[in-house]
Structure 1
Amino acid sequence: MALPWALAVLSLLPLLSAQSPECANFTAKPITNVTLDWLSGKWFYIASILRHPEFNQSLKSIDSYFFYFAPNKTEDKIYFRAYQTVGDRCIYISTHFLVHRKNGTMVTKENDTEVHAHLLLSKNPRTFMLSFFPEDKQKMGIAIYSDKPQLSEEQLNEFHEVMECLGMHKSEMILTDEKKDQCGPLEKQHEEERKKEQEGAKEE
């Protein structure tokens, strides 16, 4: 499925610099160790608009979605673990993405096609946004992620501003609902297994 990496792959390019003055308020910076450290940890996928037909169809089936980023700064990789609820099922995904620091992108391949996204650093340090296919009005998309399962009114308003900058309307937005999450037990199991592995490694 293309969606898991589409929700997580990053790129840091000045996406909005040529747009209106309001759009210029959203910062885009090169990928640095500081950025990677900041991205480390647990995030919730909250909402998005993805006009790409395949991505849009996949999004409509997702009830909730959270994931963990674990950057490896030496290898320029971000390891990715995601928990996706579809109906009454929990789908677990584990993979990694390559970070291209020079041109500020993180790229993955789907069916031999490289796919890029653009990271928009939010005014709020507890959220970030990803933009997809910004040059193609038929496929373009924007998604927002937070370290909490809900957005504040301020965070949501900022997301609306970015959508407007990209020529999108909030009526296109697809929302998740963390109350429908079915992945809590599996996440807990994985955390317990990881803790045991770490304790075992210390004893060796």
Structure 2
Amino acid sequence: MALPWALAVLSLLPLLSAQSPECANFTAKPITNVTLDWLSGKWFYVAGIFRHPLHNQSARSVPSAFAYFAPNHTEDKIYTRVYQTVGDRCIYNSSQVVVHRKNGTMFTKALTPGPHLTQRFSPPENDTEYHTHLLLSKNPRTFMLSFFPEDKQKMGIAIYSDKPHFSEEQLNEFHEVIECMGMHKSEIILSDEKKDQCGPLEKQHEEERKKEQEGAKEE
């Protein structure tokens, strides 16, 4: 059974800059309204590496996933709608993460980190806050999340794009980042858009939202 997870924390720290000159290309950015607006919209999980056995198993059981992010500046939250393919069915989840602007983090308690940005289907591992670091990309429509970067046995990284597949530029940059983290490209778990089962449900939800908006205008 898949164990999909939440976007727990986006800690904007220069994780890679101290390791090599190449790693210095991946610089930290503060969490501002501009950053939140940039994260708004639809994102596809494209690939990841997860050394934590549980998270690795989860990533392999969910071949395709995408999410919608809707930041709320006033509440300092990001609302998420997540669609995941598990076997031959689609799993939908909605959740939210809290933004801590002062220290540049976001978190959701009792959720597990990983590529699919939503709640787990199994009980959480104690009442834990999972910290995830945001790595902004050279490509304006890509970002990466780094998990447990200080722990070689648990560390992981996932890349997201506005398209469900890699460009050559994105792939090369992803390889640079995982090399900086001490990982190898042979560890990469790729998503497979051909296995997506969530298109019909996404379309249904979009039609329902459209009707709701039209109804609100008529009132």
TM-score, L = length of structure 1: 0.96
Q: Is the Cα contact below 8 Å between 1:117 and 1:132 reproduced in 2?
A: yes
**Is 1:158 aligned to residue 159 of structure 2?**
no
Q: What aligned pairs does 1:44-59 form with structure 2 within 5 A after superposition?
A: 44-59=44-59
Q: Secondary structure at the match of 1:82?
A: strand
Q: Secondary structure at the match of 1:113?
A: coil
Q: Give the letter for the 1:83 counterpart.
A: Y
Corresponding residue for 1:108? 108
Q: Give the letter for the 1:193 counterpart.
A: E
- Give the number of the structure whose residues are more often strand, by fraction: 1
Distance 1:153 1:126 in 2: 14
Structure 1 residue 4: deviation in Å?
A: 2.3
**Is 1:185 aligned to residue 200 of structure 2?**
yes
Corresponding residue for 1:4? 5
Q: Secondary structure at the match of 1:4?
A: coil
Within the candidate set 119, 140, 147, 2:134 is matched to: 119
Corresponding residue for 1:201? 216
Residue by residue, what CA displacement relative to the aligned partner does 1:83-115 show, whole Å, maximum 9, x if unpaired?
Answer: 000110100010000011111111111241011
Q: Secondary structure at the match of 1:161?
A: helix
Q: Secondary structure at the match of 1:36?
A: helix
RMSD of equivalent CA atoms = 1.3
Distance 2:161 2:146 in 1: 15
Q: Is the Cα contact below 8 Å between 1:13 and 1:105 reproduced in 2?
A: no
Structure 1 residue 9: deviation in Å?
A: 4.6
Q: Is the Cα contact below 8 Å between 1:43 and 1:148 reproduced in 2?
A: yes
Query: Structure 2: which 5+ residue stretches go unaligned?
Result: 111-125
Distance 2:146 2:104 in 1: 14
Q: What aligned pairs does 1:4-43 form with structure 2 within 5 A after superposition?
A: 4-6=5-7, 9-43=9-43
Structure 1 residue 37: deviation in Å?
A: 0.4
TM-score, L = length of structure 2: 0.89
Identity of aligned residues (%): 83
